Homo-oligomer: A and B are copies of this chain.
Amino acid sequence: MAIKKILALTGIRSEYYILYPVINALRKDEQFDVRVVVSGAHLSDWHGLTLREIEADGFHVVDKIDSQLMTNRTTQRVKGVGMLTYALAQTVEREKPDVIFVVGDREESIAAALVGNYMDVAVAHLGGGDPVYGNADDPIRFAVSKLAHIHFTLADAYAKNLQRVGEEEFRIFNVGDPALDTIRTTPARSLSEISNILKFDITDGHYVVFIRNPLSSEWQDAGRQMHINLQALERFSKESGYKVVAIHPNTDPGAHDIVEAIQSYKDKPFIKFYKNLEREIFVNVMRHARALVGNSSMGLLEAPFYKLPVVNVGNRQQGRLNAGNVEFVPDDLQSITQAIHKACTDEEYRAKVAELKNPFGNGYTSEKIRDVLRSIDLSDKQWLIKKNLVGIS
Q: Which residues of A contact B (CB under 8 A)?
A: 41, 43-47, 49, 62-66, 68-79, 81-87, 89-90, 93-94, 110-111, 113-115, 117-120, 129, 131, 133-134, 136, 138-147, 161, 164-166, 216-217, 251, 256-257, 319, 384-391, 393
Contact = CB atoms under 8 A, between A and B. Distances in A.
Contacts of A143: 113, 143-144, 146-147
Contacts of A386: 133, 138-139
Contacts of A43: 70-71, 73
B133 A387 contact: yes
Contacts of A115: 78
Say what secondary structure dominates the interface of chain A. helix
Given A82-B83, A385-B133, A389-B142, A93 B70 contact: no
B73 A70 contact: no
A216 B134 CA distance: 35
A79 B69 contact: no
A77 B117 CA distance: 10
A328 B94 CA distance: 38
- Best-surrounded residue of A69, A82, A89, A118 (most CB of chain B within 10 A): A118
Counted per complex, copies of this chain come to 4
Given A86-B79, A166-B165, A73 B46 contact: no
Contacts of A74: 93, 118-120
Contacts of A134: 385, 387
Contacts of A118: 74, 77-78, 81, 136, 216
B82 A85 contact: yes
Contacts of A63: 90, 94
Contact of A84 (B82, B119, B141): B82
- Best-surrounded residue of A41, A77, A82 (most CB of chain B within 10 A): A82
Contact of A75 (B73, B81, B93, B319): B93
B62 A94 contact: yes
Nearest to A384: B217
A393 B164 CA distance: 10
A285 to B, nearest CB: 23
